[in-house]
Structure 1
Amino acid sequence: MTQQNQPPANVTVRRADHPGDLGWVVMAHGEIYDRQFGWNTDFEALVARIVGDFATGHDPAREAAWIAEVDGERAGCIFLVSGDEPETAKLRILLVTPASRGLGIGTRLVDECLTFARDAHYQRVVLWTNDVLLSARRIYQAFGFTLTDEERHHSFGHDLVGQNWTLELDQPSPTVR
């Protein structure tokens, strides 16, 4: 975050197509979720599978990933991949590093993702998250996602409540600040 007497951060969002981007996504998720929530390497393995599947077989016309940078350093990411039905996309692995929170990066990443989804002619975007991820949930709600169901589960070394959220893209996008 910007402190007094420092210039505002230069935030950019770009495609995740530079060497090291995909590895950074996996590493950052593993390290940050361990520090913040005590999640074990099962979570990092899940992220690695998502990233690996994207890296080895994504359709660039229908799937994309983005990296946010603050002053030239990676600070966040998001992926959009095809869902189980042709008209449905999945928003995956949104992350903003703790040092870069409060700069609007999460909102910018979700906006980029949803713009791409609309341009790719998806009808809806779904996502799975856990109820402990409060900041991410607030962003999803601000964009109009609605909670469709939730279920208790034991994953990543903890008892959690998984949640499924859906956004119908034919609805007008709410104004997000």
Structure 2
Amino acid sequence: MEELRNEINSAAVHIDSSLRRFALERRYRHSHWIFVETGLRKFHPHDSPGKEMPLVVNLLYVTLLAFPIAGFSLTVLTDIAYWRTLNLLWLHFSEWLLLAGLVFGILAVLVRGIDHLTRSMWPPWPSVVGAIVVLLLAAINSFIHTADGWTAVIPYGLTASVLTVLAMIVTAWFARMGVRHA
């Protein structure tokens, strides 16, 4: 009798673990949740690979994109701080923020460009043109900030910084309009 009870318990444990494994496989096989820029989206794993951006590429792009947004936005604040205090420290902060924003912005564009060349998804053309305009304005702003003292910030440096931030806002609005498939 003891032997039968052990056999039944062993079979029950095996069935229980098999059912759990089957339930987990079924749950993960039929639908997955992945993180994309707008949050969680559900997709079916048998969909074509071009429908959703791969997780690693998306995370890398979003991480790289955060630096230019912060750098170019903070440049406006450091330019205003220099204008109000005339302390050269703020001018040097602006120069370094612009450099960091340009380096990470170019890296983000390269990551997104390589991703779009390998898949059939293309961003709307206004957002591509906007990204180029933002990087060009930031590069011009960086050259303006290389001058010495007051002329590096007032009036052209501050104006270029504000125009760069406004171009970023417009480009973000264009990018939110969606992605079209080629």
Normalised TM-score (structure 2)? 0.25
Which protein has the bigger helix share?
2
Which protein has the bigger strand share?
1
Normalised TM-score (structure 1)? 0.26
Tell me which structure has the larger Cα radius of gyration.
2
